[in-house]
Amino acid sequence: MDNFYLFVLMCILLILLPGPDTAIATRNTVTDGTKGGFKTMLGTCCALLIHTSAAVFGLSAIIVKSALLFSVFKYVGAVYLVYLGIKTLWGLKNNQADNGTVVPAKSRYESHSCFKQGFLTNLLNPKVAVFFLTFLPQFVDPGNKTFLPFLIMGITYTVLTALWFIFYIYLLNQISTFMKKPRTQAIFEGLTGTVLIGFGIKLALEKAHN
């Protein structure tokens, strides 16, 4: 494996970029506390380990090279993100009280679904498979076997992702008093729902990389 420390630095920079995983973790942390955030993080990390296994055994290459499989994953993932966005906006609308306040979040979201949301949001995103197959090989000597290096880098990326989410979730929890205000939640959930729909549309327009 070449330039492992450079790989770690690049991973950190990429992880810090906001995406669907961050959006869904943020929403679940705000609505269901650290418990919901950590369950979402666990789901995301489990999906990343599956992507790692797929890259190690060459399954990701099949998905990326097959226009049909890429499209299937792309549209299923896009529909799921749009569904989550619409669900967030619809739940916000239906739970508005007469005086304009919002019903407490735990009556709307069950924490047991947080793991599933984090897992499916990451697993059904074909761009993650593309990332693993285009990013990881840059740090491997073409003349060597890729099994162990891919495995190490995939696990490293997953661990770094978990560490970032732990910090991020605790940070959100520190400002929970502000974030749990009904007016703040209404604005935040409306923004999050819109962002998730936007990510879904963006994913649907994504082209396969051949």
pTM: 0.75
Has residue 91 got a pLDDT over 80? no
The pLDDT confidence band at residue 106, using thresholds 50, 70 and 90, is very low
User: Which pLDDT score is estimated for 167?
Assistant: 95
- Distance (Å, rounded) from C-alpha 121 to C-alpha 43? 9
Q: Which residues contact 162 (CB under 8 A, 6 or more apart)?
A: 41, 45
- What mean pLDDT value characterizes the chain? 79
Q: For 107-129, what is each residue's pLDDT tens digit?
A: 444 555 899 999 999 998 888 88
Length of the chain: 210
Cβ proximity of 149 and 1 under 8 Å: yes
Query: Mapping DSSP to helix (H, G, I), strand (E, B) and coil, where does residue 96 land?
Result: strand
Show me where the domains of the chain are located.
23-94+112-205
- Distance (Å, rounded) from C-alpha 71 to C-alpha 60? 13
Comparing CA positions, the residue from 170, 199, 154 lying closest to residue 45 is: 154
Percent residues over pLDDT 90 in the chain: 26
126-135 helix and 4-16 helix, angle to the nearest 10 degrees: 160
Q: Which residues contact 46 (CB under 8 A, 6 or more apart)?
A: 119
Site of tokens 């630095």: 9
